[in-house]
């Protein structure tokens, strides 16, 4: 008769345990072979080139990756702490006791050993453990995102320096061309065939070209500083940049595999577990303990105890904790929804840039060829007096601007393909960057 109430009580306690969220899908999303962790969705032949090796080395040396590894260590430590709730707790100490018997006092000191084991807490410890595991997954997904951003930054810094070198060479060529024109004008003026207006116009354009050269030099110096910040040093000659391999256009899958989305999905599971843990703490907790101490007579004393603790929450702290956990969960859900929209929009923009980028580069190249021919024709006709100096200078200016547009268009088109790889984490696999092999 006495066993039935105890069994019913045990069943009631077990039934009251909350079920923690399932992390199987989250774990699978950051398993080896997923984007950023050795996926084979696209070719990794770039990793064998000097360009790919430089990008990989710069990525692995990025301090941001060190912070991501530190975040993983932190989450693993918190996971160990959460797992400890299921282990027995062993403590030792010394207890003092004073007894007053009539007019005499008797004091004793006795060492003791206590072992306690959590038996039931409504599922709070299990939920804490699940939340800690979810945060481990979040930190690992965050490392993929960090590594992808670091790789893209290296690609951008390399391409920025290449573009600035081209613009510097263009500014130098433009200055030489205008100096040749100015020298030709001076010769004509000395022969009495030129005019003061032509000479002043040429000097004005020459001064503008010198200013543009100074600007180009300043921009090149900044690009070198940015390159050195990421790569460590600027080599005498940069390795030739290689275009990114194409990624399939199944953007629903690309969206799902985004490391940012994988990270926030893990954070969402952690927040759900935190809410479950907060709710579970409104249930009673049961702990089994055993205490052994040395008796005053020199013998041993062993006591077993089973304690049930239940807080009436008269201060309202547990209710407030539930409300706070629910609010955090709602906020993360909204953040997840916003992130989905942001990534989908980014993928749409990138696909649009890919479609229009080729057309823009082709148009810019055609403009360069056309303006080059115009400069040649204007120079020839100026020499025989059929075109004015202003026509020649305007043609040279348009030619320079067309080349600047082409350099900008080629840079943007080049980076677009790497941007989409960074959104999915595949950029790490393209360069065979093993961030999982870096000890956290």
Which residues face 308 on adjacent strands? 286
The 10 Å CB-count burial string (b at 16+, else e) for 185-210 is beebeeeeebeeebbebbeebbeebe
Helix (H, G, I), strand (E, B) or coil at 215: helix
Q: Which residues contact 14 (CB under 8 A, 6 or more apart)?
A: 120
Query: What are the backbone dihedrals phi and psi of residue 119, each rounded to the nearest 5 degrees, phi first?
Result: -105, -40
Query: What are the backbone dihedrals phi and psi of residue 321, each rounded to the nearest 5 degrees, phi first?
Result: -65, -40
Q: What is the pLDDT along the chain (440 residues), one digit of tens a residue?
A: 444 554 455 445 544 566 788 999 999 999 999 999 988 888 889 999 999 999 999 999 999 999 999 999 999 999 999 999 888 988 888 876 666 666 666 667 778 888 988 888 889 999 999 999 999 999 999 999 999 999 999 999 999 999 999 999 999 999 998 898 888 777 777 776 666 777 788 888 899 999 999 999 999 999 999 999 999 999 989 999 999 998 877 888 889 889 999 999 999 999 999 999 999 999 998 989 998 887 666 667 788 888 888 888 889 999 999 999 999 999 999 999 999 999 999 999 988 988 899 999 999 999 999 999 998 898 888 766 667 777 888 899 999 999 999 999 999 999 999 999 999 999 999 999 998 765 55
Conformation bin of residue 96: beta by default, left when phi > 0, alpha when psi is -120 to 50: beta
Do 5 and 111 form a contact (C-beta atoms < 8 A)? no
Do 135 and 75 form a contact (C-beta atoms < 8 A)? yes
At 143, list the tokens.
Answer: 């490392």
Domains of the chain by start residue, with CATH: 32-87+122-285+316-430 (1.20.1600.10)
Which residues face 107 on adjacent strands? 98
Q: How far is CA 202 from CA 196, 197, 216, 375, 391, in A?
A: 10, 9, 21, 15, 12
Tell me the pTM: 0.85
Look up residue 46 and give its DSSP letter.
Answer: G
How many degrees, rounded to 5, is the angle at CA 35 between CA 31 and CA 41?
A: 120
To which H or E segment does residue 307 belong? Answer: strand 300-309
To which H or E segment does residue 97 belong? Answer: strand 89-101
In terms of DSSP bridges, do strands 104-120 and 300-309 run parallel, antiparallel, or are they unpaired? unpaired
Question: For helices 389-424 and 317-383, what crossing angle results, to 10°?
Answer: 150
**Burial of residue 434 (number of CB atoms within 10 Å: 0-12, 13-18, 19+):** middle
Look up residue 387 and give its DSSP letter.
Answer: S
pLDDT of residue 364: 96
The span from the CA of 283 to the CA of 122, in Å, is 6
The span from the CA of 348 to the CA of 104, in Å, is 89
Do 395 and 376 form a contact (C-beta atoms < 8 A)? no
At 180, list the tokens.
Answer: 């040749």
Task: List the one residue out of 85, 87, 67, 86 whose CA is nearest residue 75.
Answer: 67
Do 170 and 410 form a contact (C-beta atoms < 8 A)? no
How many degrees, rounded to 5, is the angle at CA 119 between CA 114 and CA 120?
A: 135
Do 139 and 71 form a contact (C-beta atoms < 8 A)? yes
Task: List the one residue out of 141, 148, 159, 144 whose CA is nearest residue 59.
Answer: 148
């Amino acid at each position: 008769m006495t066993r039935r109430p105890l069994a019913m009580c045990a069943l009631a306690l077990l039934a009251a345990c909350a079920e923690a969220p399932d992390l199987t899908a989250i774990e699978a999303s950051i398993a080896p072979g997923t984007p950023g962790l050795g996926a084979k969705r696209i070719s990794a032949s770039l990793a064998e080139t000097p360009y790919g090796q430089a990008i990989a080395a710069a990525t692995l040396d990025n301090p941001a990756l060190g912070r991501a590894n530190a975040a993983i260590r932190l989450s693993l430590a918190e996971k160990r702490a959460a797992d400890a709730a299921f282990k027995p707790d062993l403590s030792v100490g010394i207890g003092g006791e004073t007894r007053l018997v009539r007019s005499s006092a008797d004091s004793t000191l006795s060492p003791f050993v206590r072992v306690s084991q959590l038996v039931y807490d409504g599922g709070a410890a299990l939920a804490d453990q699940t939340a800690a595991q979810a945060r481990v997954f979040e930190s690992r997904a965050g490392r993929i995102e960090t590594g992808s951003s670091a790789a893209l930054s290296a690609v951008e810094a390399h391409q920025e320096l290449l573009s600035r070198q081209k613009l510097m060479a263009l500014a130098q060529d433009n200055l030489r061309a205008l100096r040749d024109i100015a020298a030709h004008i001076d010769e004509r003026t000395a022969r009495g065939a030129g005019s003061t207006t032509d000479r002043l116009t040429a000097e004005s354009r020459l001064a503008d070209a010198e200013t543009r050269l100074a600007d180009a030099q300043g921009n090149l110096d900044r690009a070198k500083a940015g390159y050195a910040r990421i790569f460590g040093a600027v080599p005498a000659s940069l390795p030739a940049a290689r275009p990114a391999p194409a990624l399939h256009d199944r953007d629903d899958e690309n969206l799902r595999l985004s490391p940012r989305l994988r990270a926030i999905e893990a954070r969402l599971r952690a927040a759900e577990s935190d809410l479950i843990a907060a709710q579970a703490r409104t249930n009673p907790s049961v702990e089994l303990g055993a205490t052994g101490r040395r008796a005053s007579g020199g013998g041993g004393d062993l006591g077993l105890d089973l304690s049930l603790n239940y807080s009436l929450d008269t201060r309202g702290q547990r209710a407030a904790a539930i409300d706070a956990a629910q609010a955090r969960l709602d906020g993360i859900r909204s953040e997840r929804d916003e992130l989905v929209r942001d990534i989908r929009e980014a993928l749409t923009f990138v696909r649009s840039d890919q479609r229009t980028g080729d057309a823009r580069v082709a148009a810019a190249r055609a403009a360069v060829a056309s303006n080059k021919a115009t400069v040649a024709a204007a120079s020839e006709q100026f020499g025989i007096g059929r075109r004015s100096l202003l026509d020649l200078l305007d043609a040279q200016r348009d030619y320079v601007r067309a080349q600047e547009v082409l350099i900008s268009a080629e840079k943007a088109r080049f980076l677009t393909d790497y941007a989409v790889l960074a959104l999915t984490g595949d950029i790490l696999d393209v360069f065979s960057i093993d961030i999982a092999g870096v000890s956290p």
